[in-house]
């Protein structure tokens, strides 16, 4: 199945639901979708839901990262958080939505060679590393996606009602 719905939501939860519904309409089977991004306090929450296309619709990770570094240049409040929302839709109308967040701060320069996106400048203080410097195991243990997946699994297996 191939679908590329327009992400018109103003929140990660709205965009995750848009994606899940679009694929559901094509297959009529249970569907899981997610939306994730970076929210920087000094930028009023930007890039937010526009994280993947912050520097333009077809921008590369490097271009998005360069734009972010330019935007935070001179800012003293570097607090930021990665956010991930996972949503499932089911044929009977049920939905499960789980959210995960990871708090950190934006550095002035890239550190580390692992990972992708904004990871080289997202510093996670408890480990003293950027996401790009972490091992896969370290990142999965603390990341927004790891938290969202664990919460989603808990809700799925306990069949709790939808919430963000």
Residue 77 appears among annotated catalytic residues: no
The active-site residue out of 4, 35, 66, 108 is 35
Pseudo-torsion of CA 108, 113, 115, 117, nearest 10°? 40
The strand order across the sheet containing 95-106 reads 31-40, 79-89, 95-106, 122-124, 129-130
What ranges make up the beta strands (E) of the chain? 31-40, 79-89, 95-106, 122-124, 129-130
List residues with catalytic annotation. 35
């Amino acid at each position: 199945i191939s679908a590329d719905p327009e992400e018109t939501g103003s929140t990660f939860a709205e965009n995750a639901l848009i994606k899940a519904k679009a694929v559901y309409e094509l297959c009529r089977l249970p569907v899981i979708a997610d939306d994730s991004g970076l929210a920087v306090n000094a930028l009023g929450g930007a890039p937010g839901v526009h994280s993947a296309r912050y520097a333009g619709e077809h921008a590369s990770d490097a271009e998005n990262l360069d734009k972010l570094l330019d935007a935070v240049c001179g800012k003293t409040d570097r607090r930021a958080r990665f956010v991930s929302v996972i949503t499932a839709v089911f044929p009977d109308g049920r939905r499960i939505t789980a959210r995960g967040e990871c708090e950190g701060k934006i550095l002035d320069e890239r550190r580390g060679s692992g990972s992708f996106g904004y990871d080289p400048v997202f510093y996670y203080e408890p480990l003293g590393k950027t996401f790009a410097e972490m091992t896969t195991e370290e990142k999965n243990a603390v990341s927004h996606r790891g938290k969202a997946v664990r919460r989603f699994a808990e809700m799925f297996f306990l069949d709790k009602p939808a919430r963000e």
